[in-house]
Chain A
Amino acid sequence: MSLLRELYQEVILDHNKNPRNFRVMEGATKHVEGYNPLCGDHYTIFVKMDGDVISDVSFQGAGCAISKSSASVMTSLLKGKTKEEAEQMFNHFHKLVKGELNAEENLETLGKLAAFAGVSEFPARVKCASLAWHTLQAALHDDAQTVSTE
């Protein structure tokens, strides 16, 4: 049960049940759809930019506990961050879920993101965890309208 508990940590279960910033945003600078056709996870990420700063970020959609909590945690961390800071966070997160970054040694940098360390033990779930982040990246970079993790 321990590995499972590590995957489904309290933070993840909480954000899955009570997702933060789970709303359609009026007057968003950009919204991008993210889709994982394999499992049907489907979200829209909304961002409002104030110059280079993310002044507001929210999401809507449906999917598994990992993808939903990841989107929720992401939105709760990004408000007020610059594009560059968001990018750095994504880098850390990406390395973490791929098992390339030790959570315990980087607790300070990772903060709440550390809850996703367990994902690296479940390779099939890495895509779920990173869907919202990939979608956000597209929103920040102004490229695609729809992002797919397949």
Chain B
Amino acid sequence: MEIASATYIEEKLKAPVPVESCRFHFPLLRRQVNGKPLIYFDNAATSQKPQVVIDAIMRFYHEENSNIHRGVHYLSTKATEAYEEARVKAQKFINARSIEEVIYVRGTTEAINLVAATYGRKNVNEGDEVLISAMEHHSNIVPWQILCEEKKAILRVIPMNDDGELLLDEYDRLLNDRTKMVCLAHISNALGTINPVKRMIATARARGIPVLIDGAQALPHIKVDMQDLDCDFYAFSSHKMFGPTGVGVLYGKKELLSAMPPYQGGGDMIKSVTFEKTAYNDLPYKFEAGTPNIEGAIGLGAAIDYMKRMDLDAVAAYEHELLTYATTQLLEISGLRIIGTAKEKASVISFVLEGIHPHDIGTILDYEGIAIRTGHHCAQPVMQRFGVPATARASFAFYNTKEEVDVLVKAIHKVKEVLG
């Protein structure tokens, strides 16, 4: 057997990935569940990982594992390089101005908590208002609630219509001189709605109000461009965009980040420490205390490399086609209602079946090898808004197919047969 040369592999890893064949790069998708080929429709919870991401993490532990920064030995230099290269990849991928604006965090949740605990604590005071939307994930509600409680500030909520679209007139009305922060999901995890964040950012910023965007669901589906969006903060997780869990990015505008107090204290976030005083490190390290998730960052870098080999416009078009197809097929099932029917939607379908609880749907679909999510999707206020205790949610990635949707539809008929 001939061993492929390093250059050959490298060339191969740069080759474009057409959306039709990307599926073969995800080893987990080849497995069976309950004796049936796995159909993975739980991508809004977490995505599967391509072989290149798995390899990058393996390679790090096989060849380069070491702690980063300050080490003078060979491995530490190599690990630091790989870790920082991944930051550059992330910076370019989201078109941030510099790496100083790209802070590694554990994920979207930590990113939002970081902003609430630092920027929020410094700038939100008694009687001030923080504005969020009715379709936020708990991670973009609770940190602001904690802050508002501590500061005796007020949490206000932008309402939505029955399709799951934010009411922009209401939004404009809610912005006022007491509004100190606007926090919005780019794409709703429970409804799939793509919010008009660019327009909403512009309105808030025109009044001098900073905006944080929860981009956890956006990165795997659409191109995001920090300079084009012009938001102040943007948070996302690696694991939803085909990278490993436990790492994510907080993007922040440099002038805001510079003025913010640090989040956690510890190693790496300092320049010098005496018992009298500590000088904090420069951006982005000021917000990165302790040994970080090195292999996670490297895995995220590999995921970004992989996504860059895809034509993201083609991916968006393909996912839209999949969404339209699935929506049409599902609506033909009597008693099935889709929750979240916004005009602008990502490939997420939340649905309920008359007389059948989502949890029972989930169990029967699982028996057919289909992984969907059932429950409140960490968005209980959304469930309350639509008057349902829970929904079943099928969320698609670019590796899903129409044939898989057909199997889902058949399986839902089976659910009705068993429980009808």
Residues on A close to B: CB < 8 A?
3-5, 7-8, 13, 16, 37-42, 62-66, 68, 122, 124-125, 128
Q: Which of A40, A41, A68 has the most CB of B within 10 A?
A: A40
In the bound complex, how far is the Cα of B374 from the Cα of A40, in angstroms? 10
Shortest Cβ gap from B383 to chain A (Å): 7
B359, A4: Cβ atoms closer than 8 Å: no
Name 8 A/B residue pairs within 8 A (Cβ), A-sorted.
A3-B367, A4-B364, A5-B418, A39-B357, A62-B357, A63-B359, A63-B389, A125-B363
Q: Nearest chain-A residue to B364 (Cβ)?
A: A4
In the bound complex, how far is the Cα of B246 from the Cα of A122, in angstroms? 28
* Residues 363 to 383 of chain B near chain A (Cβ within 8 Å): 363-364, 367, 374-376, 383
In the bound complex, how far is the Cα of B376 from the Cα of A41, in angstroms? 11
Given A13-B419, A40-B383, A40-B390, decide whether A65 and B367 contact each other with a Cβ distance below 8 A.
no
B376, A40: Cβ atoms closer than 8 Å: yes
Dominant secondary structure at the B interface: helix
Selected contact of B360 from candidates A37, A38, A62, A66, CB within 8 Å: A66
Given A3-B367, A4-B364, A63-B389, decide whether A39 and B359 contact each other with a Cβ distance below 8 A.
yes
Query: Which residues in B have their C-beta under 8 angstroms from that of A8?
Result: 360, 418-419
Size of the B side of the interface (Cβ < 8 Å), in residues, is 16
A42, B389: Cβ atoms closer than 8 Å: yes
B363, A122: Cβ atoms closer than 8 Å: yes
Given A4-B418, A39-B375, A40-B375, decide whether A63 and B364 contact each other with a Cβ distance below 8 A.
no
Residues on B close to A: CB < 8 A?
356-360, 363-364, 367, 374-376, 383, 389-390, 418-419
Q: Nearest chain-A residue to B375 (Cβ)?
A: A39
B363, A124: Cβ atoms closer than 8 Å: yes
Shortest Cβ gap from B368 to chain A (Å): 9
Q: Which of A7, A37, A65 has the most CB of B within 10 A?
A: A65
Shortest Cβ gap from A52 to chain B (Å): 35
A64, B359: Cβ atoms closer than 8 Å: yes
A128, B359: Cβ atoms closer than 8 Å: yes
B374, A39: Cβ atoms closer than 8 Å: yes
Given A8-B419, A38-B375, decide whether A62 and B363 contact each other with a Cβ distance below 8 A.
no
A64, B376: Cβ atoms closer than 8 Å: no
B419, A65: Cβ atoms closer than 8 Å: yes
